[in-house]
Amino acid sequence: MDQYSTTLDGVFAALADPTRRAVVRRLGQGPASVGDLAGDAPMTLPSFMKHVRMLESHGLIRTEKSGRVRTCVLNRDRFALVEDWLAEQRRVWAGRTDRLEQFVTSQEDQP
């Protein structure tokens, strides 16, 4: 498997969990401390940290430690990978539906 597919698989795996999607959604509003993010999650801090590490390991967020506070920041550039994949899928499916439409209309024109 090529590096692009492996990386894309990891990004989608990281986004597959609702807790991690909630973190990404929240970080879309701006940086937040792990403590603030964890306050909304119905789990212990060590469990929540596994989600943070998963997002960080796949490049969706970055964390920075200042003293005792770890702040999370969304890595918006990483989402370009998902956008590119979705754009490619749209092109493929648009082409398929165009061909289907041509086939159906050509069948309607025949006696």
Tens digits of residue pLDDT in 56-98: 999 999 999 999 999 999 998 888 888 888 898 888 777 667 6
Q: Running DSSP on this structure, what letter comes out for residue 31?
A: -
CB 63 within 8 A of CB 48: no
Residue 103, domain CATH: 1.10.10.10
Cα end-to-end span (Å), the chain: 49
**Total tally of structural domains belonging to the chain:** 1
The tens digit of pLDDT for each residue in 26-37 reads: 999 999 999 999
Tell me the pLDDT of the chain averaged across its residues. 86
**Residue spans of alpha helices (H) in the chain:** 3-15, 18-27, 34-39, 45-57, 79-109
